Amino acid sequence: MDKSSFLTLDEVASNLKVTRQTVSKYIKNKDLNAVKINKSYRITVNDFEKFINKNSTVEEPQISYLKRTKNCYLDYENKSEVFDILFTYINGDFKLIEQNHDAKDNMYIFGDNYFVLKKLLETHKEKVDLIYIDPPFGTGQDFNSIDDDSAYSDKLIDSDFLEFLRKRLFLLRELLSECGSIYLHIDKKIGHYVKIIMDEVFGFKNFINDITRIKCNPKNFARNAYGNYSDIILYYAKNRDKQIWNEIREPMDEEKRKELFPKKHPKYGSYTTNPIHAPGKTIDGDTGMEWKGMLPPKGRHWRYSREVLTKLDAQGLIEWSSNGNPRKIVLASEHKGFKIQDVWEFKDKGLSYVDYPTQKNESLLDRIIRNSSNENSIVLDCFCGSGSTLKVANKLNRSWIGIDNSTHSFEVVRKSFKRENIKCNYFEYVSKE
């Protein structure tokens, strides 16, 4: 970026995370150099950088992305300065190709996602609640469609690929809302490096999960190695204390119901029983006192107050054994499902894909979108390929933005969206230089 180019007071305020009035105070106190052009003050990029370097803290919140992270980070020759990634000027705009609705979102943008994301910062900074991306994996290969037409290129490898991804991650971070999160799909060959970059961009403290995704059936190849049938999804929040989390649970199937709830209640249906006492003696208090003429076993206490136990018994929710031992009845109908773990089985279509190579399972995307966004949240996929993320977001009443620079992607999305009656406005990023 040209160090002599100018920033407005609003731009400086936005990037320092302070008010315009605070920036004016810095100028008045001569902490920040500025020049007056006509009736407005402007700050050169060079003076802004000097101000940042001089002041370890400005006002809370600090300018975390302009400082060297305290986390581990990768070092390589072609690594860009964060300031240049965020503030390099681009001279381009979105050209409307086709309009099918009047909403501001629900759009597909054709173009290099680096430039598209920078342009979106003008309108969508801190407005996106969920980002899912399935970028190239740094394989050094080209991928063709089922008709053997070019689909997308994955020629960048090693540090070139890592920097390609890193630059876009910094832009994506700026687009995320304070309650937003990002899921990045990657393979295990390059994923450990990408994890370090994600720590640099989003902060180690905002790491949530490393999800293992079973992508295919077990392989029986001839190489002297274990079979590779999984990849990973790196899940980070913008701020883990504020992230959207809807706690979607895995429903219980009939086989599991029979296993976990083998008994039949004449009134309530399938059930099992649990002890009404727990380890640990209560010296003083209601849960250590006599109920129904009995005390809790030695070294234990009642799980519930005596009042609650009496109500449960009156409702027929205490089962008494033949020797008078009480147990609480737990109903299958009240089971909320199983907490989702960090190993997921969502297999790819492989050679049977319909629209796009590496097309992802929509059930996987459904889980992510339902868990980490709300209705009317904006969902963004800047490597959107076949548009699967956009389709699922649309079904779940989310707003959405898709970006891709593949002509094949553009054609596939338009064709499938028309077939499924999904209303989308199509744009192209056009440079004015």
CATH code, domain carrying 35 = 1.10.1660
Please indicate, yes or no, whether residues 305 and 392 belong to a single structural domain of this protein: no
| DSSP calls for 382-418 | SS-TT-HHHHHHHHTT-EEEEEE--HHHHHHHHHHHH
Please indicate, yes or no, whether residues 263 and 402 belong to a single structural domain of this protein: no
Please indicate, yes or no, whether residues 290 and 344 belong to a single structural domain of this protein: no
pTM of the model: 0.75
Q: Look at residue 400 in the predicted model and tell me its pLDDT.
A: 98
- Position 292 in a domain: yes
Please indicate, yes or no, whether residues 121 and 63 belong to a single structural domain of this protein: no
- Position 77 in a domain: no
Q: Look at residue 327 in the predicted model and tell me its pLDDT.
A: 95
Domain housing 58 = 6-67
Among candidate residues 322, 321, 295, the one with its CA nearest the CA of residue 309: 295
- Position 75 in a domain: no
Please indicate, yes or no, whether residues 425 and 385 belong to a single structural domain of this protein: yes
Q: What is the mean pLDDT of each run of 10 residues along the chain (433 residues)?
A: 69 81 84 82 84 58 44 82 85 94 95 95 96 78 52 65 94 97 94 94 94 88 84 96 94 92 91 93 86 92 94 94 91 92 86 63 95 97 94 97 93 94 96 77
Q: Look at residue 61 in the predicted model and tell me its pLDDT.
A: 36
Q: Look at residue 300 in the predicted model and tell me its pLDDT.
A: 93
Please indicate, yes or no, whether residues 113 and 173 belong to a single structural domain of this protein: yes
- Which of 334, 369, 393 is the last residue in one of the domains? 334
SS3 97: strand
- Position 218 in a domain: yes
- Position 127 in a domain: yes
Among candidate residues 183, 172, 45, 81, the one with its CA nearest the CA of residue 118: 172
Please indicate, yes or no, whether residues 111 and 196 belong to a single structural domain of this protein: yes
Please indicate, yes or no, whether residues 30 and 113 belong to a single structural domain of this protein: no
Q: Look at residue 245 in the predicted model and tell me its pLDDT.
A: 97
Q: How many domains does the chain have?
A: 3
Q: Look at residue 382 in the predicted model and tell me its pLDDT.
A: 96
Q: Look at residue 350 in the predicted model and tell me its pLDDT.
A: 60
- Position 80 in a domain: no
Q: Look at residue 50 in the predicted model and tell me its pLDDT.
A: 81
Please indicate, yes or no, whether residues 118 and 219 belong to a single structural domain of this protein: yes
Please indicate, yes or no, whether residues 19 and 56 belong to a single structural domain of this protein: yes
Please indicate, yes or no, whether residues 178 and 150 belong to a single structural domain of this protein: yes
- CB contact at 8 A, 94 and 119: yes
Let me know how long the chain is.
Answer: 433
